[in-house]
Structure 1
Amino acid sequence: MLSSTAEYALRAVLYVAQHATDAPVRVSQIASALKLPQNYLSKILHELTKSGVLVSTRGKHGGFELGRPANHLSLYAIVNRFDRIEARRACLLGAKACADRHACAVHWRWKEISEQVVRFFRDTTVGELLSGTGVPA
């Protein structure tokens, strides 16, 4: 469902949220723990820094930390930087004119599912995932 880039981003942010409680987490530590390519992960983390999801600190004791509290960081803010979630509303049957006014055979059901997916990413926070419940605190 997600691109590998968006998946790596989500996994990395969850790792940072779990491990950057006392000090920033280095790219090498994240890459090693998650078995991800370090150079590619570094680019992903810098994109997340640009969008405010993460904060980076340079230097000997540098690394990455969350840019906002985990309970205020939606999965949408992480994933949508790499995968345009709303763009997934393209017609499943490939129709170019598939819209509410010119709906294909699956349009209404697909639209409902697509909206649920967007709501899931917007309404679910990193904090909820860390709590293990997936339920708002």
Structure 2
Amino acid sequence: MLLSATAEHALRAVILLARHGAATALSADAIADQLGAPRNYLAKTLNALAKAGIVHSARGAAGGFTLAVPPEELTLQRIIAPFDDTRIPACLLRNHACDSQNPCALHPKWNAIVGYAARKFAETTVADLLEDVPAMNEAPVLTGAL
């Protein structure tokens, strides 16, 4: 299961917000700059995340975006759901739909692969991803001899 560019940008923006913490909001422009994403495109993506209840949006001088869901509770599936359909894509061998009622030769293996990815997206949280990554306001932990 490959992610669309929009779902990937949404995931990257949420990870950035989680690393940044909830102390202050980040503007859409600041997030776009840090991610190297087009500003208008990312602003629309962030607004879709706000509509889905994943981020809070506030206007004004101190406004911007913050996470609306704690990283420990926010699954990757919830982040990508507004942008990507997690159903099995079109048949890889034929030019029409493929399903369990009318499977192609690749259907069982492809279904297993896509199902595995979907399960991982559903059970992995943002906190799981960031377990060994320092917050943006923390210095990185150096290991080993200098």
TM over 0.5: yes
Matched, 1:14 2:15: yes
Q: What's the counterpart of residue 23 of structure 1?
A: 24
Q: Secondary structure at the match of 1:55?
A: strand
Q: What's the counterpart of residue 114 of structure 1?
A: 114
Q: Distance in 1 between matches of 2:68 and 2:41?
A: 20
Gaps of 5+ in 1: none
Root-mean-square deviation (CA, aligned residues, Å) is 1.5
Bigger RCO (CA 8 Å, 6+ sep): 2
Q: Secondary structure at the match of 1:24?
A: coil
Q: What's the counterpart of residue 39 of structure 1?
A: 40
Specify which structure has the higher proportion of helix.
Answer: 1
Report the TM-score, using the length of structure 2 for normalisation.
0.84
Q: What's the counterpart of residue 69 of structure 1?
A: 70
Shift of 1:68: 0.8
Q: Distance in 2 between matches of 1:81 and 1:27?
A: 18
Report the TM-score, using the length of structure 1 for normalisation.
0.89
- Runs of 4+ displaced beyond 3 Å: none
Matched, 1:104 2:100: no
Q: Distance in 2 between matches of 1:97 and 1:60?
A: 50
Shift of 1:4: 1.0
Q: Distance in 2 between matches of 1:31 and 1:61?
A: 17
For residues 67-113 of structure 1, the C-alpha deviation after alignment (integer angstroms, 9 at most, x for no partner) is: 11101101111112111112x34321125353223221111111111
Task: State whether residues 26 and 64 of structure 1, in contact with CA within 8 Å, keep that contact through their aligned partners in structure 2.
Answer: yes
Q: How many residues align?
A: 132
| AA of the residue aligned to 1:120 | K
Q: Distance in 2 between matches of 1:76 and 1:82?
A: 10
Determine what percentage of the aligned residue pairs are the same residue. Answer: 42
| AA of the residue aligned to 1:83 | D
Q: Distance in 1 between matches of 2:129 and 2:97?
A: 38
Gaps of 5+ in 2: 134-146
For residues 33-89 of structure 1, the C-alpha deviation after alignment (integer angstroms, 9 at most, x for no partner) is: 111111110000000000001111111101111111101101111112111112x34
